[in-house]
Structure 1
Amino acid sequence: MVNESKAVRSRDDRIFDALVYTIAGIVLLLVLYPLLFVVSASFSDPISVIDGKVWLLPQGFTFTPYLHVFENESIWSGFRNTILYTLIGTFVNIILTILAAYPLSQRDLPGRTALMFIITITMFFSGGLIPTYLLIKSLGMINTVWAMIIPGAISTYNLIVMRTFFQNGVPFELQESAWIDGASNFRLLLTIVIPLSMPIIAVMVLFYGVGHWNAYFNAMIYLKDRELFPLQLILREILILNQSDNMGLDGAGMTERVMMAESIKYSVIIVSSIPVLLLYPFVQKYFVQGVMIGSIKG
């Protein structure tokens, strides 16, 4: 009787596992296929792409779209600027988020509930585009690097996630013992809290870094000098404004322009996505742990 129940349970488990794997496989195909298609289309002959002959593998393999993209000199300055904005911006984000989240995670902070309420309001209400622009202008940050960094120095959502991690991921008893031994709050933060918080810090680096890498709206509003434009704004011009004059297409006919624009569209997506995809494996091992612990309501 026991063996029969075990057999039934085992059969049910196999059916359940098969169902899970089937659903996971379908989801994987739905997510992975568009990425594979974009990669294949970027290396395919434009005629094959327009005719719908590209399904999985490249048709008429060519590097021509990438050559046209990288012939645009602004691409390189855009890469340089975006890397600079991402590195400096992420560093500022992490420092300020830690310095704000740690005090808010302390139980003995006077007015902590009121402060969190005020901070949370900023997730739903903002000053608006025009007042924000006037503020940035009055601070003298128009057409400067800081216009890409300071306005988004702290994300309220990320602040709440990190504060929750500090509350639930770092044992209060450990902090209390450090205080008894004479450690200051600043020393406690540097020697105990931050080393124990590397998973959530890695997640924040990914969140902030991807945000800076993909940012273009602030550049459209605050930057005037083309030498300061980030990569995404340069790619937007190539993609939407079709700056074919800068990509050696002056003598091309209208049909060739349309075909080349189709291939360039996919190559631009790859160029802008590869750096972020290369970063993800280095923080992936921290990602799930940091999100799960940081997302628990404190």
Structure 2
Amino acid sequence: MNAAKLFDHINKLAITVISLMCTLPLLLVFIVSFTDERAIQVHGYSFFPEKISLDAYKLLFTGNSPLFQSYFISIVVTVVGTLLAVSITFMAGYTLVAKHVKYRNALAIFFFITMVFNTGLVPWYMMSTSLGLKNNIWALIIPTLVFNPFNLFLVKNFMKQIPDSLIEAAKVDGANDFYIAFRIYFPLCMPVLATITLFYGIAYWNNWFNAIMLVDRPDLYPLQYLLFKLNSEISMIQQMQGTAAAASATLPNESVKMATAILTIGPIILFYPFLQRYFVKGLLIGSVKE
């Protein structure tokens, strides 16, 4: 066996071990979510639980649980917000690479400044409420809609790799900016657009801060905020009941935490494989600056 084949075998073995190390914690969370609360209190977390229980999922799904409504709100916010954010970022990136746009370098500096400095929480809240972003679905979308400057420069640097001759040929044929942006740049930028779609999608799906600050209506609670409130209420009830052992007889605290983790990361795990083939290429090429 030559050195190259030996290296390949060692590399595959190392990747397999690392993959298992990354998978085992997720598997443990999944198993604990189906473990009886008393077994967790006595034996701790285990890959081989003493007793299987569905109490955590029954608590989350049965009765008058608003979980389905929160799931719907999170899906709508994630889909609509991600589509709008990607569209705005793409158009802003095209503006910064279009050589006929005046002051595009000044605009790039302006966007860069927003990446370095933050206005703070109070101006953000005042601006959001003054725009009517209070107790409505747009309060969960628009405050996060303003594109991330990192994603913008990722798209901009990717677009700079497209040959100028291709754009000049389109202009000779009479193409306008709209045609060049959406018929030439857009298909060629699919790798980097898929990358920022994943970034924006995860940010919207995991966002609970907007709900805390701008939403008081339970029917508009996103999934993350609802589960956060549920875990907080369970912990508070346990403290009011006295001992943790007495509380665990009725409220599966630890297993509920694991069940909420499974429910929240599930859609992201299912979503990622569809963008995986674009992700690495878009991240590597878009991060290289001329």
Normalising by structure 1, we get a TM-score of 0.87
> Match for 1:20: what amino acid?
N
Give the equivalent residue in structure 1 for 2:190. Answer: 198
Residue type of the alignment partner of 1:43: F
Task: Decide which moves more: 279-288 or 212-221.
Answer: 279-288
Correspondence for 2:167: 175
Matched, 1:89 2:81: yes
Q: Distance in 2 between matches of 1:16 and 1:274?
A: 35
Where does residue 165 of structure 1 map in the other structure?
158
Cα distance in 2 between the residues matched to 1:82 and 1:76: 10
CA contact (8 A) 1:90 1:208 kept: yes
Distance 2:180 2:95 in 1: 12
Letter in 2 for 1:122: T
Letter of the 1:160 counterpart: F
**Where in structure 2 are there 5+ consecutive unaligned residues?**
none
Q: Which moved more, 1:16-25 or 1:120-129?
A: 16-25
- Deviation of 1:261 after TM superposition, in Å, equals 0.6
1:57: Cα distance to partner? 4.4
Cross-structure match for 1:189? 181
Tell me which residue corresponds to 1:69. 60
1:19-44 deviation digits (Å, cap 9, x = unpaired): 43343234223311110110111112
Please tell me whether residue 60 in structure 1 is matched to residue 51 in structure 2.
yes
Aligned to 1:118: 110
- Kindly report the root-mean-square deviation, in angstroms, between the aligned alpha carbons of the 2 structures: 2.2
Q: TM-score, normalised by structure 2?
A: 0.89
1:265-280 paired onto structure 2 within 5 Å: 265-280=257-272
Question: What does residue 131 of structure 2 align with?
Answer: 139
C-alpha contact (below 8 Å) 1:106/1:167 kept by paired residues = no
Equivalent position of 1:207 in the other structure:
199
| SS across alignment from 2:116 | coil
**2:32 and 2:255 in contact (8 A); partners too:** yes
Mapped to 2, the partners of 1:59 and 1:90 lie a distance apart of 43
Query: Given the alignment, which residue of 241, 266, 277 partners 1:285?
Result: 277
Percent identity of paired positions between Structure 1 and Structure 2: 33
User: Does the Cα contact within 8 Å between 1:237 and 1:243 map onto a contact in 2?
Assistant: no
In structure 1, what residue type is equivalent to 2:69? S
Deviation at 1:119, TM superposition (A): 0.5
In the alignment, residue 220 of structure 1 is paired with which amino acid? I
Q: Report the counterpart of residue 236 of structure 1 in structure 2.
A: 228
Q: What's the offset of the Cα at 1:134?
A: 0.7
Determine whether 1:254 maps to 2:247.
Answer: yes
Alignment: residue pair count:
282
Alpha-carbon distance in 1 for matches of 2:95, 2:113? 19
Unaligned regions of 5+ residues in structure 1, if any?
Answer: 1-6
Q: Is the Cα contact below 8 Å between 2:33 and 2:56 reproduced in 1?
A: yes
**More divergent stretch after superposition (178-187 vs 53-62):** 53-62
> Which AA in structure 2 matches 1:24?
I
Runs of at least 4 residues of structure 1 off by over 4 A? none
| Paired amino acid for 2:59 | H
The Cα offsets for residues 60-81 of structure 1, whole Å up to 9 and x where unpaired, read as 2232211111125221111111
Match status 1:129 vs 2:126: no
